[in-house]
Structure formats: structure tokens, C-alpha cells
Amino acid sequence: MSLRRFNPYYRCFFPWLLDRVSKVVAPEREQLLSYAKGAVLEIGAGTGTSFNCYQSQVSEVYALEPDTGVMQKARSVLSGLPETQRDKIQLLVADAMNIPLADNRFDTVVCFLVLCSVPEPQQVLQEVYRVLKPGGQLLFFEHVLSDNVAVQRWQHRLNPLWHRCAGGCQLNRETAGLIVRAGFELQQLKRYQHEAFPVLVRQLVTGIAVKHQ
């Protein structure tokens, strides 16, 4: 991971690509993040596209991101925010597989197009569960294995190549099932196809999962 900062793909192309994808899903992001409240941890915050979506019911945001290249862009996004918004947000260079924060610390955790990219989503979800307060919420938006069997075949076939070319992203995860297996209760779940996305990443799941009281 540390060598990424010297790699032109991760320094230039990857942050650019993230920004392009983020523009397409801006309405979905805004809608989902309107549910964020209290102390928030955003996993894999990328270039900081979510920062201006956090509303007044959010008291603080930890934006966790292991990639120092995209973190650099997030830092410049942060410096352009109004002071009241900026003062709430702290950047944290860390790996979500091992979150360096206390148990039961957060009211909300945000995973937006991240569980496709982490090496072990089960381990990340265990960590997310640990740092959430009882009754705390996980807000998620992820691309997943398609409902269409023909597309699924291509997702499985192309996954090894895709994984290498797209920053560790996996095409064929069944993220909603993983969230339930981590102990969460699904309070809202929507599965749909986003027509603006290429067919391999068109199947999305989004919703709210809650840690038991």
C-alpha cells in the first residue's frame, strides 16, 4: 500500500476516476448521508466527496483512508470547506481492517463504494460493528454481484483482471449478506441497477443496517 504513492496510476488516474464515479452517484450519496448523525466514521473516504454532505445533526466526522495519494486530494477538499464544516472533520490515515479507535465510539459509520475494495470485508464489518455504539447505524452504498446470471458469469470471469486494474476492487461480492452475517439488522435495503454504470458494476445495494442494542 505504501508504494502506491509513487505509482502514477494511484497518484493521478485513480483520484481522477474516483471523482468521475462520484459525480454520477452524487444524488444517492446526498440522500444516504442525510441519515448520518452524531459521531460519524467514514471508511475509505477517498478524495473527500462526502464531506459537504454531512448536515447539522452530525457532530464530528473521522474520515479514514489508507491511500495517501487520495488522502492528499481529500486534504485539499477539506481546506476548501466553510470553517464550521471543516472543523468537524478529521482525516485519519488507517486501514479499516484494524480501526485504531475505541469500541462503541460512533453513532454512524459510512461505507460508500468501499466494501468492494477492502481485502477482507468480513473483518472490516467486524471492526465497524465494534466501533459503533449499540443501536448505531451503518449507512452503505455498494456495487455487488449482479442479479442477472449471465452478468454474474462475466463478473466471476473478469474479476481477477479487474481486481488488479481497479485498485483492489472486486466485482462479485455479496455485501448485503456479509452485513447480516456480521451481526447487523437490516433496517432499509434497496437493490437496483444503476443505468449510468457499466454493466459489470451496475448492480447496487444501499441501505441502513443497525447494531443490536
Using CB under 6 A as the criterion, which residues of the chain lie in contact with ligand SAM when the complex forms? 18, 22, 43-46, 49, 64-67, 70, 95-97, 112-114, 117-118, 168
The answer to whether residues 201 and 154 touch, using CB atoms and an 8 Å cutoff, is no
Is the Cβ of residue 39 or residue 128 nearer to ligand SAM in the bound state?
Answer: 128
Q: Is the dihedral of CA 179, 181, 187, 188 positive or negative?
A: positive
How far apart, in Å, are the Cα atoms of 106 and each of 37, 62, 122, 130, 203?
9, 10, 19, 9, 29
Is the Cβ of residue 16 or residue 192 nearer to ligand SAM in the bound state?
Answer: 16
CA distance 209 to 175: 12
What's the min distance (Å) between Cβ of 113 and ligand SAM? Answer: 4
What's the min distance (Å) between Cβ of 213 and ligand SAM? Answer: 27
What's the min distance (Å) between Cβ of 93 and ligand SAM? Answer: 10
Is the Cβ of residue 45 or residue 58 nearer to ligand SAM in the bound state?
Answer: 45
Is the Cβ of residue 112 or residue 184 nearer to ligand SAM in the bound state?
Answer: 112
CA distance 62 to 96: 12
What's the min distance (Å) between Cβ of 89 and ligand SAM? Answer: 14
Among 159, 211, 163, which residue's Cα sits nearest to residue 187? 211
